Structure formats: C-alpha cells, structure tokens
Amino acid sequence: MCFLLVAPFAFCAETSEARPTSSKQDLRFWLENMVWFHRYTAPEIAAATGLLDDEIDQSLKRFGISSASRPEKRSRDRLLVLPYPGGRHPRIGFLEGAIRPQRETKLSLFAPWDDGSYVVLDLPEALWSNLGLTYLAHTHIPTIWTKRGLELPKLEWERRADGSFRNERALPNGIAFGCRAWPDRDSMRAELWLRNGSTNALTDLRVQICAMLKGAAGFSLQTNTNKVFEKPFAACRSSDGRRWVILAWEQCHRVWGNAPVPCLHSDPKFSDSAPGSIETLRGWFSFYEGEDIAAEFRRIRSLGWLRDVPASSSIDSTKKHL
C-alpha cells in the first residue's frame, strides 16, 4: 500500500518504522541529515523514508545534496547534535532485543574530532514503574500497552531555533513524559520530566538511558574492558586510549554496559510521583580528549548540575537489556 507524500512523491512502507516527510523543507532536512552527516547509502535512505530509488535520486539532485556538496567545515562553538533518522540499526549486536527501533527518542551526537563519528543517545530507551514496563523505544518484551493491543503513535523531535531539542509523549492512562536537550561546545545537557496525570501514585520509576557506540570510530569494540563505571558516570575509552565518551544522570541507580550492542548506561530513577505531580531528572553527555578520566569526572561534578547523587560506585555489566 502506498500513501501520498509531498507531490509528486509516494511513500511505500518497506518497514513499519519508515517515516514519510511532511513537506519539501522537511524532506531536505532529512536528506541533508542522512547524506551529509550520517553518510547513509541509498538503501538506508529508502528504509528511513519509504521513498523509492528514483524518488531519492530526484530529490537529491533537486536539492544539490551529495557527498561532494557536504559542508567542508562545521561550527566548533556547539557540539553537532541531530535527530537520528532511523533506517540504519544503531546497534551492532543483540538485535533481537531491539526490533523496530523508534527514532523519536534518539539523538546523534557527533564527535568533535571526527565528522563521521557519532553516538546515538536514547532519551529514554525505557521507562518502568509499579505498573510494569510503561514505555519502550523499540520492540522487545511486552509493555503494558502492547499487552492491551495498543500501539503508541509515532512522534518526532521538535527542533528549536536555539539549537535545542524537545519531545513529549502522552500515554493512554494520563501519564506524560518528555525530554529537553541542549548542546554546548563539547557536551550536551538534558532534562527528563514526568507528569503523573493518572489518579494513582507511581513508584519505582526506573529509566534506561542508552548511549549506543556503533557509529563512533574507535569506540565500537564489543567489550566492556574499555569502559569505566563510577556511579553516576559511565565512560568508554577509544582504542588509542586518548579519547572518551561520557554519560551521567543524577539520581542514578545503575551504571553498566552491554558489550554485544555495544553501549553505555547511566540509568536514573524519578522520585515517586503523586497524582498531579511533575518529576525531573538532569543528564550529561560529553566527549573528552585526555588520559585522566577521574579528573574529568571531578570537573564535571564541580559544575554543580548533579542533585543528590551518591558518590559510591555501582557496576552492573549484565547482558539483560531492553
């Protein structure tokens, strides 16, 4: 079955997660995103957009988008962050644990030292509560909604004029949650929020925040021996030992890595939520060039963005992953 897109193009859903674009301007944004920055192949573009090969060729020619027209330089004033387009699986392994990965929670953060390397951050990958698995950004184990035969609508990141990103999802039972993320020179800060619009208290509000390393050259070894876990920090060292990827969240209850993916986790917990209340969590992601990762952890702590985070270490490298 084909659905009309922006004339004269047609959308044919080759996969259930292919996303039609809403306008020519939107199409141009996603093609630039995929070709210039994520460096997609034509089949990957088709998987992300649902466009046919000739439609892709026509669009690229119309907009003058190719690897040759890629901007030679990008601004170093702010970390390059883009919505992840989908169409290319962000994991190397454990793919059976992430079927139909949904792009509306995923941002790509590009390394300042390599225009072609990026980490995909899932904000969030999963949300648990006393109700059970309340949200999951792909298909794996059943959520409380799939058990009822409900499929949540597809969403997109709101791209804001100040360079920040925002998303928001309302669940069928009145719970809503969302994320705001804003990049700086060599880091990105984020805030997750949850509003309890239900009539019952929510407890055990565990969140999974996943940083997938497949797209980052030098960081994609399927091992945890290149990682450091010091709650709330989870960090991965490059193959040459000179660079790091760092993830941290306040109110962190678990730091760990899944080697087959490979990925980093700094998983926080929202405070218990009474009906009508709003809970928030702050997060951090950064790239670091240097050898003293402990000193870098101390520097990040000194910035004062963490609230109520115990300094004790907690490591869980189990392969259980959503």
- DSSP β-ladder status, 205-212 and 118-129: antiparallel
| pLDDT tens column, 190-199 | 999 999 999 9
Beta partners for residue 48, in sequence order: none
Residues 218 and 289 in one domain: yes
**What pLDDT was estimated at residue 38?**
97
- Listed as ranges, residues in the chain with pLDDT below 50 are 1-15, 309-319
**Residue 229 belongs to domain spanning:** 81-302
Residue 317 lies in a domain: no
CATH assignment of the domain containing 269: 2.70.98
Give how far Cα 242 sits from Cα of 80, 239, 269, 289, 290, Å. Answer: 21, 8, 32, 6, 5
Cβ–Cβ < 8 Å for 194, 273: yes
Cβ–Cβ < 8 Å for 124, 167: no
Residues 36 and 91 in one domain: no
Residues 19 and 108 in one domain: no
Residue 316 lies in a domain: no
How many domains does the structure of the chain reveal? 2
Residue 190 lies in a domain: yes
Residues 276 and 197 in one domain: yes
Residues 41 and 115 in one domain: no
Question: Quick one: tokens of 21?
Answer: 């674009």
Residue 42 lies in a domain: yes
| pLDDT tens column, 22-77 | 999 999 999 999 999 999 999 999 999 999 999 999 999 999 999 999 998 776 78
State CA 173 to chain mean position distance.
25
Residues 144 and 169 in one domain: yes
